Amino acid sequence: MIKSKQKNMRTIGKTTTALLLAMIIGGTVMAQNYKSKKDKDPEVVASEMTARLDKALDLSANQEAEIQGIILKSVQEGKELHKELNESSREEHKARMDEHRKATDEKIMAVLNDEQLVKFEKLNQEKEQRRAEHEAIQELPPDEAAKKMIGKLDEQVGLSADQKKDLEPLLTEHVSQMRELKDSEMSKEEKRQRSNELRREMDAQLKKVLTEEQYKKHKEIRPPKHGHH
């Protein structure tokens, strides 16, 4: 039981770090009322994901209805799979969830036309690139991770030299805090609450450093998601 608890804590800690990195690389700033997708109602998640795909692929009404059904089933099955794999190794968990995502993608692709398929595959390639970037940054020391994150943010909104200087210590500190959370003795729920607090703090700090236009643009740069991720 002790080993299982320690393993779960390591997984939670790595997840909180990845979420912080995703805020910058994926262009997502967490709102004050942030609620994890896995805690949302599956129908709400399916509706939101379908809406994003519709925006990216211009789905017909029939496609939208069919894809929403596919995603809803995927989210429901994904929740059960996550519970089933709770005691599994991180490698097995990742492999099984990747299989689940791939199966969902294949079902969605069967509904799309040729033009939409090209766009969908491009979205997948961009998603995999972001995931690889997330993993690479997690291996860096906090100060180097912060510089990488600033570089991504600069690509998105165009930062001034002063803004980069202001953001570097803030992001370095937040990366450090997220990683310290990984090794804390907090419960799973306490870690989740604390990680949400850190993300809200990060959002508030970004809002102070960025101009109103930059902040708005950063919030809008949110890649369409699909499947159970």
For residue range 75-99, what is the model confidence (pLDDT) as tens digits?
999 989 988 887 778 788 889 998 9
Report the pLDDT averaged over residues 1-10. Answer: 44
Give the C-alpha separation, 68 to 157, whole Å: 32
Cβ-Cβ contacts under 8 Å for 214 (sequence gap 6 or more) = 157, 158, 159
Q: In Å, how far are 53, 163, 169, 203 from 158, measured between CA atoms?
A: 27, 10, 18, 18
Instruction: Of 211, 191, 207, 224, give the one whose Cα is nearest residue 15.
Output: 191
For residue range 135-191, what is the model confidence (pLDDT) as tens digits?
788 788 999 999 998 998 999 899 999 999 999 999 999 999 988 987 788 887 788
Q: In Å, how far are 100, 188, 211 from 194, measured between CA atoms?
A: 29, 10, 27
